[in-house]
Structure 1
């Protein structure tokens, strides 16, 4: 059964003591199974304190981050690659102490707009670093999710097919594809078919909307996406991600281009997202089951 998660930026911009307390309490109160904690700077997450709050609230966590220009493991620069590997290992140590099951995001390059296409050598260098990092993650029971993002946030993995090829290159069972409805809506010719083609390589999924606001109020075919997830047998986390200038601050505001209030009430947004996700999953499961029954009868 899929665990349902919520991105912490629905509640808070950072992770101060008060912000952590609020985000964890509200996520649990709303009914989610886990909270996705941004870890651009994992050293600020205070793992011992945060773990106690998570345990008390009865929810789990995942971490997400993107590397930056100074830690870009796809650069081919040995110094930057070492810095990137060190950052990933530090984040994994914090994730272990938090009891996180997944560390996801733009782990394979910098989280930025590039002005040149990636080189094959750079992609191979990234995969080489990731294969070493994957071993450390596996020792701590952590799955790594390579998030497929739009062309303005990375030049390495913009489609599900590219991510599958990258994971094959890394060749580690705990390195999976992380798909995101928002990014797929921009880059994939057919997001539903992309999910089906990813199949067992899918390890983490972000729901969201085309305009980053209330799920179901934009142009994404959620019914199709959820049906593809069910048809593929995907049983990993499904985490809702949404951003508004009401909450999010720098550096994410600038990197993601969050220039307006896509919503003003995070609690209403979160409750709506949870109900919407439950409804879509139920409908998808019933549709797939019914289709399967018809197929068996016809045979």
Structure 2
């Protein structure tokens, strides 16, 4: 298959802040083409020495890096507070510059608001509309920098329990139209689509050329190929139908606890063997499943 297959770096740990070089080495040994990371602090700080080291390691291993992030509340680009929006906008611009320096081509995630959204009040339709408009306004400014740096800015549609602004492919398409940039694209996560879409395969076809990136997991965040709920053959066929050229990233999370488990709302362990050896064995099997299914 021509598409690269990646893995999210947090699959084998419970912390977001880790040694990315070790995760990169592990992903290569497993057999992945790509590692998806949350930009480390030194990237946002534009520490070129540290960025150069990670970029060179990836190049030496024949790996590429993609970058995915959720914004903290203090940098929510859909906030009614202009100062908070400005924090998010400037932070995003720095990330894009860093990703360009790293040789990256894709920034994806909830790139318009905060994640996970902490619901402290009932969201009204007018709340959503206001947040949507602020998000679009902010992204319009940021995506210009993405365009200047040849970075695809792939907005993720997430389920209603984690965010409220862009839940469905229809909303993702409309958000992209409102932003109106050749670099605004979509990230479709099968886990979220299983909750929000009537038909996952049809939603992929609907996204069409806007779809730049995909996350793969079972309906409960387990590894692809370990369940019987997601219609993987139909999903794979839909990506062929639209001539999808992006990356498939396995984004599964199996363990409760720690910042990763808490942010992903994993309240029970989803595997009997959560050792490094156990996780490595299971994801190798899942990688083989993805290769065969999406070939």
Q: TM-score, normalised by structure 2?
A: 0.88
Question: Given the alignment, which residue of 253, 262, 266 partners 2:279?
Answer: 266
Aligned-partner Cα distance in 2 for 1:258–1:40: 23
The residue number in structure 1 matching 2:11 is 10
- Indicate whether 1:189 and 2:198 are aligned: yes
* Partner of residue 243 from structure 1, selected from 249, 253, 276: 253
Kindly indicate whether residue 141 of structure 2 is the aligned counterpart of residue 132 of structure 1.
yes
Q: Deviations over 1:182-219 (max 9, x none)?
A: 01111111111111111111111111111212312221
Match of 1:262, SS? coil
- Residue by residue over 1:11-70, the C-alpha shift from the partner in whole angstroms, topping out at 9 and shown as x without a partner, is 343444xx3232111211222111000237554894222112212211010111111221
What are the within-5 Å matches in structure 2 for residues 1-299 of structure 1? 1-12=2-13, 13-16=15-18, 19-39=19-39, 41=41, 42-43=43-44, 46-111=50-115, 112-114=117-119, 115-117=122-124, 118-218=127-227, 219-245=229-255, 249-250=258-259, 252-263=260-271, 264=274, 265-282=278-295
CA RMSD of aligned residues (A): 1.9
Deviates more, 1:151-160 or 1:260-269: 260-269
1:86, CA displacement in angstroms?
1.2
Give the Å deviation of 1:72.
1.2
Structure 1 Cα separation of the partners of residues 68 and 118 of structure 2: 18
**Distance in 1, Cα, partners of 2:233 & 2:290:** 10
Q: Distance in 2 between matches of 1:101 and 1:257?
A: 29
- Closer, same or farther: CA 22–11 of 1 in aligned 2, 3 Å: farther
3-state DSSP of counterpart to 1:146: strand
Number of residue pairs aligned between Structure 1 and Structure 2? 278
The answer on whether the counterparts of 1:40 and 1:64 sit within 8 Å (CA) in structure 2 is no
Structure 1 residue runs of 5 or longer lacking an equivalent are 283-299
Cα distance per residue 1:262-287 (max 9 Å; x no partner): 232221132122211111113xxxxx
**SS at structure 1 position matched to 2:80:** coil
Within 2, Cα distance between the matches of 1:40 and 1:208?
24
State the SS of the aligned residue for 1:62. strand
What are the ranges of 5 or more consecutive residues in structure 2 without an aligned counterpart? none
Bigger mean CA offset, 218-227 vs 252-261: 252-261
Task: Tell me what 1:294 maps to.
Answer: none
